[in-house]
Structure 1
């Protein structure tokens, strides 16, 4: 994310009061005195309107700090994408498009300044598909970003909704892989008593969101209509793979409810090791679950995920489980682990020729 954000609330012209993300130094009096939003040496509080959301440290917005931490933990290259709260799918389209452009310009500037350390993913305002396709073309051609990050749903609309078909077509035509990340924070807005306790929205809700998104994509024929799509789902696909047997059984025993839009392709068919549409990241915190997922989808479709720099990620050493866990070492060869650590990401993002020496 950038170290500061413009005030996009002034862009809203429909008379509605919109709660936009804003960034504030921890020392608010210093903020008012110096008229600054952030500096590389201070933590920053993120607010939605006037409601506190979370605190981020300099490693979230300062590339120098990031590279220092990367060097300390043996990370050569990092794929960077925006923080999902900044997707702003619920905002008016004009300012949301301006925000997406601002975020993409910032990510591109970091990647261009440090081309051997960072690879960038774009964000798009998917509440307006036409604007999203235009921004996708811009980031591909003008900014040279290598993929796009989207949420698991867009203002309550699942990803199999027909209005997103032009976006999928554009991703195919531009050869833009898609990283899909859950939103989490929306669950507490919908039902605080259900999701607010025990960090449930993040620990249970996020994996459930991701499973629902995969279920929608694989049950709806999206990949039949758009066979060139490359989709990577965060957090190892959430709850989907452990539920695959149940989902396939439902497909078989109640096709009237599950298979009516699948165009004859079952959920299990999409998760074969030879398929080229579905990828998962490795962030499970559990060697046994990683083995199960690899048994279902194949280790060649697993990309190392870290969720850096947030606490639910693999911190403080991204890739530690793949590199050094004893059980993982017994389950997978060094070559296979190397592919999961870097080679599979190179293939997913189409980076052949850029970082081959780092495989």
Structure 2
């Protein structure tokens, strides 16, 4: 039975999760070269992502199986999950034709998963960047035709940092469409630091990459130029919240930036909660505002984050890192606002998506 959900009784909204459709390869018009990832399902309920003949990652079938995903959402008390592409597919080295083909196939696959999710999934697509004209056209198609809520882009687009004027048409189109943008680090944090390998790339490279992206948005004029953008940065915006006081001081000294104005720009950003220590949420709330904190789990890649999401938010409230009101917002309401939705738009099905009619919609 369908139950209209609203208010605090409803389940959580998870804005940071990834999906790789098993149908993606069949949607491509041509066979991609070996730099594109390929999903190879196994016989044990899992599979592998391959780059040519190199193993990139072992994955669980929930990465592509919508029924399994919805069942896991049920167990975790998550009402709606926003699925976005696996970051390795943000391949900004591709020529225009291949990039457009892959982006269209990926977005069609995500939109189909949203439809099959029976109201439990929302989608963010991908774009054929750095080919900005084609990316703007695909953004319009993804949002207006496919019903996706926005797009995921990388923290760097090819040779462009996010304040490059070459990217302005994309941000202008996103603002006009009301499309949400999730920024995710690319290349697993590789190449960001003077030292490579693990745990440096995962533990410092990815979050430094994200902080550089946020710095470009705040101090590079993007948020000034496009004030109605809804941009979220994964992994709690990386190290930015802790580096910001020094960045603000530097901008004031060297570029005569008004610190209060910089604060206002920072507070327009959204960040997810994937910081692995609930005490860190106090700093995020101070920097970005409690109403711009989003639940993020990186499902299905990091074990325990989806299952432990509710306990994580409760711990933040119990310890005083967040107020109860801020915790409620993080749990649900802020995610709806980021997506440009309201509570009454969400219909939660209390059964797996496999029991829904084939045409059960993911759109309100």
TM-score by length of 1: 0.84
**Do the aligned residues in 2 keep the contact of 1:45 with 1:55 (CA within 8 Å)?**
yes
Cα distance in 1 for residues equivalent to 2:102 and 2:39: 14
The answer on 1:290 being equivalent to 2:291 is: no
**Do the aligned residues in 2 keep the contact of 1:307 with 1:313 (CA within 8 Å)?**
no
**Do the aligned residues in 1 keep the contact of 2:24 with 2:109 (CA within 8 Å)?**
no
**Do the aligned residues in 1 keep the contact of 2:88 with 2:187 (CA within 8 Å)?**
no
2:335 to 345, 350, 354: 345
Consecutive unaligned residues of structure 1, counting only runs of 5 or more, are: 28-40
**Do the aligned residues in 2 keep the contact of 1:346 with 1:355 (CA within 8 Å)?**
no
Map of 1:119 onto structure 2: 122
Higher strand share: 2
Cα distance in 1 for residues equivalent to 2:71 and 2:119: 14
Cα distance in 2 for residues equivalent to 1:341 and 1:84: 24
Other structure's SS at 1:6 match:
helix
Cα distance in 2 for residues equivalent to 1:252 and 1:184: 32
Any idea what the Cα deviations from partners look like across 1:111-146, whole Å, max 9, x if unmatched?
Answer: 122242011111111110011111111111111111
State the 1:186 CA deviation.
6.1
1:2 to 14, 21, 27: 21
1:149 to 148, 152, 175: 152
Map of 2:241 onto structure 1: 241
**Do the aligned residues in 2 keep the contact of 1:321 with 1:328 (CA within 8 Å)?**
no
State the 1:316 CA deviation.
3.6
Moved over 6 A (4+): 262-265
Map of 2:195 onto structure 1: 194
Other structure's SS at 1:195 match:
coil
State the 1:227 CA deviation.
1.6
Cα distance in 2 for residues equivalent to 1:315 and 1:228: 30
1:270 to 259, 265, 275: 265
State the 1:148 CA deviation.
1.0
Cα distance in 2 for residues equivalent to 1:264 and 1:292: 18
Cα distance in 2 for residues equivalent to 1:313 and 1:138: 35
Map of 2:101 onto structure 1: 98
The answer on 1:308 being equivalent to 2:303 is: no
The answer on 1:280 being equivalent to 2:274 is: no
What's the Cα RMSD here?
A: 2.6
Moved more, 205-214 or 103-112: 103-112
Evaluate the alpha carbon distance shift between residue 165 and residue 67 of structure 1 in structure 2; reply closer, same or farther with a 3 A threshold.
same
Consecutive unaligned residues of structure 2, counting only runs of 5 or more, are: 1-19, 350-364
Other structure's SS at 1:180 match:
strand
Map of 2:55 onto structure 1: 52
Map of 1:165 onto structure 2: 168
Cα distance in 2 for residues equivalent to 1:202 and 1:313: 17
Map of 1:38 onto structure 2: none
State the 1:357 CA deviation.
9.1
Greater length-normalized contact order (CA 8 Å, ≥ 6 residues apart): 2
Other structure's SS at 2:341 match:
coil
2:324 to 320, 323, 334: 334
Map of 2:139 onto structure 1: 136
Other structure's SS at 1:106 match:
helix
- In the alignment of these two chains, the number of paired residues is 328
State the 1:25 CA deviation.
3.5
TM-score by length of 2: 0.83
Other structure's SS at 2:345 match:
coil
**Do the aligned residues in 1 keep the contact of 2:316 with 2:322 (CA within 8 Å)?**
no
Other structure's SS at 1:283 match:
coil
Any idea what the Cα deviations from partners look like across 1:13-48, whole Å, max 9, x if unmatched?
Answer: xxxx65221122446xxxxxxxxxxxxx62111111
Map of 2:16 onto structure 1: none
Evaluate the alpha carbon distance shift between residue 164 and residue 328 of structure 1 in structure 2; reply closer, same or farther with a 3 A threshold.
farther
